[in-house]
Amino acid sequence: CHMPVVLATLEAEARGTRLVLEVAQHLGESTVRTIAMDGTEGLVRGQKVLDSGAPIKIPVGPETLGRIMNVIGEPIDERGPIKTKQFRTCEGNDLYHEMIESGVINLKDATSKVALVYGQMNEPPGARARVALTGLTVAEYFRDQEGQDVLLFIDNIFRFTQVSALLGRIPSAVGYQPTLATDMGTMQERITTTKKGSITSVQAIYVPADDLTDPAPATTFAHLDATTVLSRAIAELGIYPAVDPLDSTSRIMDPNIVGNEHYDVARGVQKILQDYKSLQDIIAILGMDELSEEDKLTVSRAQKIQRFLSQPFQVAEVFTGHMGKLVPLKETIKGFQQILAGEYDHLPEQAFYMVGPIEEAVEKAVKLAEEHAS
């Protein structure tokens, strides 16, 4: 029995018009569950259904401008068919095409640089739990047999924890499997360096309800060398990337590794931000005027540091409107060091937002002063 693949389109006739159905699920060996893209009035049991063998494809390109189409790409503005030769599927496969265009995936010969392993959200928890091990096995081959240094991306490692009920075990805290720590350790400890090669892993971690103490992310953090925590509160301030420097950690933040200057500046930035955080409740209740002069200075410098932590990325130019900047590490350390020392207490905090080196903040402050004067 031929079974249409998931996401394939089936075509039937309802009320004399073409009805498109998208396969969502396989039920047994001869039945599928589909999603209708239009009303199902007129369908009858035993009616013939044709399998197109392909997902929904919609017309794209300049020819679609000024036209109105429905969910399956059919024109509904009574102006005839959309005359384009370009069609794309609705399942966002931009990453795949970008990899092909950049040469990371080569369809013509064996020079591809990436292997993709998927266990998607529409699949059972068992598939999502095992896909990390499948990808890791592929990476281990290239490390051990080919002697290569492998970069392993895992998105999202949280899905690795969603198998408690399937295993028939009594769930532990918050419903996770009681063997969560063992399962996570077994996988994470395979990501290591050998004499032949290495695996370096970058993992996205979903944090339920923004609770970093949740067993799943907390167990994962124990195995990571560095964590970059994104904060909703910082994003609400319009500061991007919305990295929280107080919750983020790195094991190489050691004076013996990064040097005394880098270490002292980093800890100084964290201290002043922590002091500012502890003063926020007082500010919210009593206002800035009730703070001592020393605390006011702490708040002022912390707000400048917060904005100086914003980074104008080249890849985000279209979203932020700010030209991307590349700043050497030494320049970055020097900038924060000077802010901590109070050398720029006279500049407004807006001058530090989305700039490159600290000199740009000074230039921006001059421009802001000129605009204010005019």
Residue 197 pLDDT? 94
CB atoms within 10 A of CB 332: 18
Q: How many CB atoms lie within 10 A of CB 213?
A: 8
What pLDDT, on a 0 to 100 scale, did the predictor assign at position 338?
A: 95
Q: How many CA atoms lie within 13 A of 316 on its CB side?
A: 11
Contact 14, 40 (CB under 8 A): yes
- Please count the other Cβ atoms lying within 10 Å of the Cβ belonging to residue 32: 19
pLDDT, residue 364, reads 93
Q: Which residues contact 18 (CB under 8 A, 6 or more apart)?
A: 11, 12
pLDDT value, residue 35: 86
Task: Give pLDDT, residue 168.
Answer: 62
Q: What is the DSSP letter of 174?
A: G
Walk along the chain (374 residues) in steps of 10 and give the mean pLDDT of each run.
Answer: 82 84 85 86 87 85 86 86 81 77 85 84 73 88 91 84 60 74 88 93 90 88 92 91 93 94 96 94 88 93 95 87 90 95 92 93 91 82
Whole-prediction pTM: 0.72
Q: What is the spatial distance between Cα 249 and Cα 348, in angstroms, rounded to a whole number? A: 29
pLDDT of amino acid 52: 86
Q: What is the pLDDT, as a whole number, of residue 167?
A: 57
pLDDT given for residue 201 in this prediction: 94
Cα dist. 3→105, 192, 323, 326 in Å? 30, 42, 51, 52
State how far the Cα of 275 lies from the Cα of 292, in Å rounded to an integer.
13
Q: What is the pLDDT of residue 28?
A: 81
The pLDDT score that the predictor gives to residue 347 is 93
Structure tokens at 200: 């370096």
307-342 pLDDT, tens digit each: 999 999 988 888 888 888 999 999 999 999 999 999
Q: What is the maximum span of the chain, computed from C-alpha positions, in angstroms?
A: 82
Q: How is 126-149 classified by DSSP, letter by letter?
A: HHHHHHHHHHHHHHHHHHHTS--E
Residue ranges and CATH numbers for the domains of the chain are 9-89 (2.40.10.170), 119-224 (3.40.50.300), 226-374 (1.10.1140.10)
Return all residues near 367 (Cβ < 8 A) that are at least 6 apart. none
Residue closest to 150 by CA, chosen among 92, 198, 218: 198
Dihedral angle sign, alpha carbons of residues 246, 247, 250, 254:
positive
Cα 228 to the chain's mean position, in Å? Answer: 12
DSSP 3-state of 353: coil
Tell me the pLDDT tens digit for each residue of 268-299: 999 999 999 999 988 989 888 888 999 999 99
In this prediction, residue 162 carries a pLDDT of 62
Which pLDDT does position 65 carry in this prediction? 86
Q: Which residues contact 57 (CB under 8 A, 6 or more apart)?
A: 73, 87, 88, 89, 90
